[in-house]
Amino acid sequence: MNGTQKAVKRIRFVEDDAVDPPDRKRPPSRLPESKGLRKIIKGQCPNGQFVRMQVRKTELERNKYLIKMRKGAIFYKFNQRTGLPEERWFIVSPDGGTIRWTKPSTNFLGIKTTKIKNLADALYLTYGNSESVKPQQTIEIPTWLCFTIVFCEKTGTTSKSWVTREISVACRDQEQFETWFFGIQSLIPLHHQHKSQAYILWERAMMKVESIAFVQRTTPSKVWQTLFENAIRHVKGSSQKFLLRKLVHMNLSRLARQAREKDGDTKDSSPPPIKGRNLFSIHHIS
Domain boundaries along the sequence of the chain: 53-194, 212-285
CA distance 195 to 126: 9
DSSP letter for 268, please: S
pLDDT tens, residue by residue, 48-105: 677 777 777 778 888 899 999 999 999 999 988 888 888 999 999 999 899 999 987 7
**pLDDT tens-digit readout, 208-229:** 888 888 888 888 888 877 877 7
Domain 53-194 is found in CATH 2.30.29.240: yes
**pLDDT level of residue 279 (50, 70, 90 thresholds):** very low
What b-and-e string marks burial along 206-220, b requiring 16 or more CB atoms within 10 Å of the CB? ebbbebbbeeeeeee
Residue 210 has a pLDDT of 87
- Average model confidence (pLDDT) for the chain? 74
- Per-residue confidence (pLDDT) for residue 98, from 0 to 100: 92
In this prediction, residues 133-140 reach a mean pLDDT of 65
Give the residue, 30 or 199, on which the prediction is more confident. Answer: 199
CB contact set of 190 (below 8 Å; sequence gap of 6+): 120, 122, 123, 124
